[in-house]
Amino acid sequence: MNKLSPHENDRESLCAQIVGLGDQTLRKSYFPQLQKQIEELKKARAAEEEKSAALEIMIRDLRESRAQTEESERKFRTLADFTNDMEYWTGPDERIIYMSPSCEPLTGYSQGDFAAHPELFESIVHPDDRSLLAIHALGAALVEPHCVDLRIITRQGLTRWFAHTCQAIFAEDGRWLGLRGSNRDITKRKVAEDQIQRYSGQLESAFMHTVLVAMNLSELRDPYTAGHERRVGEIARAIANELGLDENRAKGVEVAGYLHDLGKMTIPAEILTRPGKLSAVELMLIRGHAQASYNVLQHAEFPWPVADIALQHHERLDGSGYPQGLKGEQILLEARILAVADVVEAMASHRPYRPPLGIEQALAEIERGCGSLYDPAVVEVCLRLFREKGFKLPQ
């Protein structure tokens, strides 16, 4: 083996020292950077793993949600297929994507017809009822079920009534999926309701004819005041309407007006038609007509307190009236209305003992007694009817 000279040994030693110094310099310069990059790569890998795990969870949840939706839809279809009601389901575009088999016996159109023509349902709704389906345009606003009765024209040209119900369907994330609806055939119920309404109208007509017969019999006893009861009834009805009473209550006031003097049939005709001044006894008999009217009317089964209204129509707010001397709120509102109507008609019309005083004098009388004899609200309405709204005394 060749030995190196001392000079060569020194050169190799020097090279080794130089290389060693270079390695130390590289380590000091690049190793920290390399460590930092390795740490960043580790963090990035950990983040990717977290994302991957989250994605796997999301995919699993979506699969479960889809499975639940499919199961829900399957159950709905199973129930809908066996119901007598016409069930349907629309997509977000409001086009029908499912119609139950009952559609054919109810409308004459098959499931295939509705599938081929998504707008078919709306087209067979009666033209006058199509506006009722406008609520569909609100779509997502149908959080609560929307119910309405509408008519459908069948393929055979028949008109059927349906109770139509629909509600919006939402996904768990709030997305609107469409509408779920149901149509129940209520044709028989509607026919029955129409018959009941028709019979009710006939009964009401017969009832009013009976009332008018009784009114006419009463007027036969006093031909000089013929038409008084009818006119009082019409004035009282107008006041009741203006006061805001509901239709049924206003009708009761009108009927009471037609019958309020029925008790005059118990008074001798010569007293009723006498043009001169009445004696105290005769005046007492005249005043007894309110009680007599009550005695007759209390046995009739009216849907309103007609007997009590007739009894109280001569009562006054301050207690000066008859026959019971009632005050203020003790007097029925209907009787307070009738009292004003009765005074206005009586003063403005002819009587055996005097010519007509005219409507202005009659209105001046209720103005004078406003708050003491007559109800202020009733007086105010009566004055407004005649002076501002052009109401005329019925002929």
The more confident residue out of 217 and 152 is: 152
Residue 206 has pLDDT above 80, yes or no: yes
Of the residues 155, 185, 215, the one at which a domain ends: 185
Of the residues 185, 212, 228, the one at which a domain ends: 185
Average pLDDT over residues 324-345: 96
Q: Are residues 216 and 272 in the same domain?
A: yes
- Quote the pLDDT of residue 204: 81
Residues in Cβ contact with 378 at an 8 Å cutoff, skipping those fewer than 6 apart: 239, 243, 336, 337, 339, 340
Q: Are residues 217 and 288 in the same domain?
A: yes
Residue 14 has pLDDT above 50, yes or no: yes
Which helix H or strand E contains 165, and what residues bound it? strand 159-170
Residue 247 covered by a domain: yes
How far is residue 57's CA from residue 51's CA, in Å, rounded to a whole number?
10
State the DSSP string of 69-114.
HHHHHHHHHHHHHT-SSEEEEE-TT--EEEE-TTHHHHHS--HHHH
How far is residue 185's CA from residue 88's CA, in Å, rounded to a whole number?
14
Which helix H or strand E contains 377, and what residues bound it? helix 376-387
Average pLDDT over residues 10-36: 57
Residue 51 covered by a domain: no
Q: Are residues 180 and 144 in the same domain?
A: yes
The CATH number of the domain holding residue 160 is 3.30.450.20
Residue 316 covered by a domain: yes
Q: Are residues 358 and 324 in the same domain?
A: yes
Q: Are residues 90 and 208 in the same domain?
A: no
Q: Are residues 222 and 371 in the same domain?
A: yes
How far is residue 176's CA from residue 145's CA, in Å, rounded to a whole number?
15
Q: Are residues 291 and 371 in the same domain?
A: yes
Residue 82 has pLDDT above 70, yes or no: no
Residue 43 covered by a domain: no
The CATH number of the domain holding residue 315 is 1.10.3210.10
How many domains does one find in the chain?
2
Q: Are residues 273 and 173 in the same domain?
A: no
Q: How confident is the model at residue 256 (pLDDT cuts 50, 70, 90)?
A: very high
Instruction: Tell me the range of 20-24, 26-30, 86-90, 152-156 where mean pLDDT is highest.
Output: 152-156
Average pLDDT over residues 25-36: 61
Residue 322 covered by a domain: yes
- Quote the pLDDT of residue 290: 93
Residue 60 covered by a domain: no
- Quote the pLDDT of residue 388: 92
How far is residue 348's CA from residue 340's CA, in Å, rounded to a whole number?
12
Residue 287 covered by a domain: yes
Burial group, residue 256, by CB count within 10 angstroms (0-12, 13-18, 19+): buried
> Which among 393, 338, 318 is positioned nearest to 361, based on CA atoms?
393
Residue 26 has pLDDT above 80, yes or no: no
Q: Are residues 301 and 381 in the same domain?
A: yes
Residue 7 has pLDDT above 80, yes or no: no
Indicate left, alpha or beta for 115 from its phi (over 0: left) and psi (-120 to 50: alpha): alpha
- Tokens linked to 365: 């009388």
Q: How confident is the model at residue 30 (pLDDT cuts 50, 70, 90)?
A: low
Which helix H or strand E contains 152, and what residues bound it? strand 146-153
- What is the tens place of the pLDDT at every residue in 115-158? 888 889 889 999 999 888 766 556 545 567 778 899 999 999 99
CB 252, CB 332: distance < 8 Å: no
Give the global pTM: 0.59
The domain in which residue 114 lies consists of: 78-185
Q: Are residues 180 and 212 in the same domain?
A: no
Residue 83 covered by a domain: yes
Residue 63 has pLDDT above 70, yes or no: no
Q: Are residues 380 and 262 in the same domain?
A: yes
CB 271, CB 287: distance < 8 Å: no
Q: Are residues 295 and 380 in the same domain?
A: yes
Of the residues 185, 219, 246, the one at which a domain ends: 185
